[in-house]
């Protein structure tokens, strides 16, 4: 087998055994238009996910911005069965929502990284 053919075979094998999709967890923020309630989900989609994962993002800070002023919005854990999310327990009014979460330090191989959302 010549050198070119080996590269082609290696590339094909690599592509065959490489996952087609990559998934990861994100913090999703939504606001209920009727109640004004703010919900924060931690998962691959903007919906309630396993509540065990929620403990890693309990320190998420949420602010409501109105007329250039930021107001902190306290969030609490809400669970139903195995699923859960963070929720504000009072009606909020404002123009935009901002959030921040220091997820923590994790390592890949010898590299260490601080993950912020």
C-alpha distances (whole Å) from 37 to each of 6, 10, 19 are 58, 53, 38
**Domain positions in the chain:** 23-116
| Interatomic CA distance for residues 43 and 85, integer angstroms | 10
Q: Are 32 and 91 in contact (CB under 8 A)?
A: no
| C-alpha R_g of the chain | 21
Rounded to whole angstroms, the Cα distance separating 75 from 68 reads 21
Q: What percent of the chain has pLDDT over 90?
A: 17
Residues 115, 102: Cα–Cα separation, whole Å: 6
Question: What are the tokens at 55?
Answer: 């403990």
d(CA 71, CA 91): 13
pLDDT in tens, 61-113: 998 888 888 889 899 999 999 999 999 876 666 678 889 998 888 788 888 88
Percent of the chain with pLDDT over 70: 80
> In sequence order, what are the residues at sequence separation of 6 or more whose Cβ sits closer than 8 angstroms to the Cβ of residue 100?
60, 61, 116, 117
Residue 70 confidence (pLDDT):
87
pTM: 0.70
Left, alpha or beta for 106 (phi > 0: left; psi -120 to 50: alpha)? beta
């Amino acid at each position: 087998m010549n050198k070119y053919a080996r590269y082609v075979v290696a590339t094909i094998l690599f592509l065959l055994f490489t996952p087609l999709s990559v998934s990861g967890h994100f913090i999703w923020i939504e606001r209920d238009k009727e109640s004004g309630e703010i919900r924060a989900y931690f998962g691959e989609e903007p919906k309630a996910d396993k509540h065990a994962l929620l403990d890693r993002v309990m320190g998420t800070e949420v602010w409501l911005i109105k007329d250039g002023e930021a107001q902190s919005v306290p969030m609490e854990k809400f669970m139903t069965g195995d699923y859960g999310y963070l929720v504000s327990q009072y009606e909020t009014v404002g123009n935009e929502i901002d959030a921040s979460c220091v997820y923590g330090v994790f390592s890949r191989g010898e590299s260490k990284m601080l993950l912020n959302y």
